[in-house]
Amino acid sequence: MVGLPDTGVKECGYRVFSTLANSGFCIPRSRTNINLARSDLKKESPINDLPIALGILESTGQVKTIERF
């Protein structure tokens, strides 16, 4: 996580990766870069865990999200 995240956001990586591992998904062995865009919104609390987990699963090809047209 880059920028000035809250302590809860810094711990997000541990929560997301342990949840994915306990759910039977493969954890990527390479570095993962996640962009939490919208600098005007404060990044606090675990509200970002689900979008981060879905982004990891989508980028590694473990799930397929619905494409919007």
pLDDT at 4 over 70: no
Domain boundaries defined on the chain = 7-59
Instruction: From 41, 55, 65, 66, select the one nearest 13 (Cα to Cα).
Output: 55
Q: What is the pLDDT of residues 16-47, one digit of tens each?
A: 999 999 999 998 888 877 777 776 776 666 77
CA distance 61 to 66: 13
User: Would you state the pLDDT for residue 2?
Assistant: 55
CA distance 51 to 54: 5
User: Would you state the pLDDT for residue 3?
Assistant: 56
User: Would you state the pLDDT for residue 11?
Assistant: 81
pLDDT-above-90 percentage for the chain? 16
Average pLDDT over residues 56-66: 86
Q: Is 38 helix (H, G, I), strand (E, B) or coil?
A: coil
